[in-house]
Structure 1
């Protein structure tokens, strides 16, 4: 069984090389396993091709102990380089010694189970990134150290190759072969540390990586180091599963397409639901995604008259037009009387209406020398009131005139009083005061001769005119 164990260890070491296989995520690594010291005297060979001629001669030249006999601790320092320290122990019972009396004669001797100790610094370069491999990790290394063999010891310069097969991101099977060039070769047994090969085989474990959120992605490569996420999103979560990481998703809790930054558009109107005032009914962007059936600029949801155009101020309904004259009541100064648009919804005073007014005005009778009305005049005044109410937005001017009988000053005063009396009656009977003005002109504006009774009768008059 002992020999089988040795053959198994030898078979592992036969594959070659490495250790210290770590990266920036797991900067630290520890390797341990078995080592073998090749007792063939490499530096004594006469030809280069002979230097490694006994490399595979495990039986005659390799020294090893079937147990854990080396430990390496290393740290990644960047750009595929790592630095480590290796400590190894062995027992040498086979070694090539040159007999001085027979130059070139290198018999294999048993030096008497000499204890072997090595402490070595190693600078390694990994080719795994160059190969773009996830599991195959070849490497090369250089370094130096100190070797103790029995009572002898010597410094060495080292170099070699390695290979690690990674089973996982952190566990691998590693092999390494190192040539140690000695600076002390006395070629005297028990006093000589000859140049030699040392082989290593064991397990490597990487560690030291930080994964705060425990999602299997190291903080160094995790775009969301404090939130558990997915590898395809560099460690960021995708809560709604729409293929857009939450950090880039405008609607992280509701699935949506990439063209809308992860937000849904339920009605398909090109406006995402979160910005759509009517997310379930298609509408234009100008209406914040809501329809406007009558095209009046008021969205249907706010329009009380969906099928009829109307202004926003009236909730999308047309303004009422009580008198039907085409002028909305809100703008119609005469909302209950049909008028014209040009006159703000009020009827325009026609020449015929002015003629009727003055026909009535000519029949107004006053008591002689006074401004009071004769009884039969009241129906005439009521007729004037009725006509003026037909034109509620129009303003009128009442004029009083007299004949030339009597003093001029008296006539002027009388005409003023009579015009005012007519105005006051109209106001008292429902005509707005701000629509009426009055003035008396006495005998200054006759329309007939004051030399005849008929002419004088015509000059004693009241006139109603449309005011500007």
Structure 2
């Protein structure tokens, strides 16, 4: 047992040093200083413990000055590690008066606090150290209880009592009572908003506690990071932006911010409901097409060519062809630009849902030329066998044709054909080239 206490002291100090880099908290450091009292009597007379423990006059040795200093660091989950140094003069060794003996102690501590963020902060402490009485040293194992009372976030009063057990026969078993001032520090608040950086979502910009330290510059209750108009007070519904005319379109997006209007017209009104905003409508009280600045005109087939100028008044055509439909090279290119973006499920002829929009665009073009006939052509890259590619190209061409027929394009106007890998438009030696070769084309039958 002779060297047990020394080994325990070494072990406790090693644990402390190894945890110096453990988890940090707001104000992780605590320094305490004050007076200590050494009481030997209760340890030697257990039967009188209850009566003699608080016998200050007869048994406590108190040095009337600052006689201990301790420092500790919070390491997480209520635990702190630290060290304490103390000195005293012993004139009462139990019931025996002695000449003033010097008393020095150095201790390592592990403390556990039961509560968090409370004024009253009770704790327990274990540790070990070395005590010299009249220059005779002995290792001790220590256990104690105490309480801090915090007057503020940083300043408090600490009271503690610790039993120190010396295993060596010449060691003095005793109680050490401590009372002093505790100071916590170490927390960082870079922006000075009262919220420590550890808890501050915006540590370099002063903000509000309700937003975890982030600012609300315009004071509209929406933090700047979520506010589309951080310098103008607005509503939550408008993502922090104002809506002066109350039409549901934020002023920043409203082309007519002082007149209630329609979201579809960028917040501008449309009195005649023709889809042309009043500010752009030459006939705001008469419905008309946008192409005619909102004014009505007789255009039976709706192709943008007035009936008086339309050679095919009952069939939608082009302006260039006097109102009759005409598939130009540009239209043919546009048709195939769309067709080449049609996506199929891998290795199948089923059209992916995301291609619906482009199919609608193709249908709109085909309906502009009701008398024109087209071939729907399927093409593949060279990966796989020629026979499988041929079959896949035919299947995909028919899949597109069937879709177009189902959506109102006459079956007599469409022919499906598959070319397999026979008509590449790019090299099959690269991924990009193969991607271009996997395509559908829709070509005019001349």
TM bucket normalised to smaller: 0.5 to 0.7
How far apart are the structure 2 equivalents of 1:328 and 1:248?
A: 46
Superposed CA deviations along residues 209-251 of structure 1, whole A, max 9, x for unmatched, are 2222222211111100111112222111110111222122222
Contact kept? 1:319, 1:329, Cα under 8 Å: no
User: In the alignment, what sits opposite 2:288?
Assistant: 310
Task: Give the alignment partner of residue 109 of structure 2, picking from 122, 128, 133.
Answer: 122
Matched-pair contact (CA < 8 Å) for 1:39–1:63: no
Is residue 141 of structure 2 the alignment partner of residue 141 of structure 1?
no
Residue 69 of structure 1 aligns with which residue? 67
Does structure 2 retain, via aligned residues, the 8 Å contact 1:320–1:328? no
- The separation in 1 between residues aligned to 2:253 and 2:235, in whole angstroms, is 15
Match of 1:45 in 2: 45
> In structure 2, which of residues 150, 159, 162 is the aligned counterpart of residue 166 of structure 1?
150
CA distance in structure 1 between the partners assigned to 2:307 and 2:270 by the alignment:
28
Stretches of structure 2 lacking an aligned partner (at least 5 in a row): 1-22, 317-446
Change (3 A) 1:116 1:218: same
The answer to whether structure 1 residue 261 and structure 2 residue 243 are counterparts is no
Per the alignment, in what secondary structure is the counterpart of residue 52 of structure 2? coil
- In the TM superposition, 1:344-423 aligns within 5 A as none
Aligned partner of 1:82 in structure 2 is: 80
| 2: CA distance, partners of 1:328 / 1:154 | 107
Structure 1 residue 319 displacement after superposition: 4.5
Task: Return the TM-score normalized by structure 1.
Answer: 0.58
User: How does 1:194-209 map onto structure 2 within 5 Å?
Assistant: 194-209=172-187
SS of the residue corresponding to residue 72 of structure 1 reads strand
Task: Return closer, same or farther for 1:166/1:334 CA change in 2, 3 Å cut-off.
Answer: closer
Aligned equivalents of 1:255, 1:299: Cα separation in 2? 28
Of 54, 57, 65, 2:55 maps to: 57
Decide whether aligned partners of structure 1 residues 334 and 31 sit closer, same or farther in structure 2, where only a CA change above 3 A counts: closer
- In structure 2, the residue matched to 1:381 is none
**Partner residue, 1:9:** none
Paired with 1:207 and 1:127, the residues of 2 have a C-alpha distance of 20
Aligned position for 2:218: 240
Find the aligned partners of 1:151 and 1:329 in 2 and give their Cα distance. 111
- Residue matched to 1:110: 97
Residue 330 of structure 1 and its aligned partner are, at CA, apart by 5.6
CA shift digits 1:120-140 (9 cap, x unpaired): 0110011122xxx43221111
Residue 372 (structure 1) aligns with: none
Contact preservation (8 Å) 1:123, 1:141: yes
The structure that has the greater radius of gyration is 1
1:300 positional shift: 1.6
Secondary structure of the structure 2 residue equivalent to 1:128: coil
- Aligned CA-pair RMSD: 3.0
Q: Which residue of 2 aligns with 1:392?
A: none
Gap change, CA 1:259 and 1:329, over 3 Å in 2: closer
Once residues 136 and 232 of structure 1 are traced to their aligned partners in structure 2, the CA distance between those partners, rounded to angstroms, is: 26
Pairing 1:25-44 to 2, within 5 Å after superposition: 25-42=26-43, 44=44
Identify the residue that residue 434 of structure 1 maps to in structure 2.
none
Other-structure match for 2:260:
282
The answer as to whether partners of 1:71 and 1:88 remain within 8 angstroms in 2 is: yes
Q: Is the 8 A contact 1:23 1:80 kept in 2?
A: no
Q: Please give the secondary structure, in 2, of the residue aligned with 1:94.
A: strand
Q: Report how far residue 204 of structure 1 moved.
A: 1.5
8 Å CA contact 2:35–2:179 kept in 1: the answer is yes
Q: Cα–Cα, structure 1 residues 214 and 247, in superposed 2: closer, same or farther, change >3 Å?
A: same
CA shift digits 1:111-162 (9 cap, x unpaired): 2111111100110011122xxx432211111101111111322111111112
2:425 corresponds to: none
Q: Are the counterparts in 1 of residues 84 and 109 from structure 2 also a CA contact under 8 Å? A: yes
1:331 corresponds to 2:306: yes
1:87 to partner: Cα distance? 0.3
The separation in 2 between residues aligned to 1:29 and 1:226, in whole angstroms, is 26
Report Cα offsets for 1:180-218 as digits up to 9, x if no partner. Answer: 1111344xxxxxx32111111111222222222222211
TM-score, length basis structure 2: 0.60
Are 2:298 and 2:306, in contact at CA under 8 Å, matched by a contact in 1?
no
Comparing 167-176 and 221-230, the one that deviates more: 167-176
Partners of 2:312 and 2:167 in 1: CA distance: 122
Q: Which residue of 1 aligns with 2:25?
A: 24
Cα–Cα, structure 1 residues 92 and 305, in superposed 2: closer, same or farther, change >3 Å?
A: same
Specify the SS of the correspondent of 2:206: coil
CA distance in structure 2 between the partners assigned to 1:203 and 1:52 by the alignment: 28
Cα 1:62/1:331, change in 2 over 3 Å: same
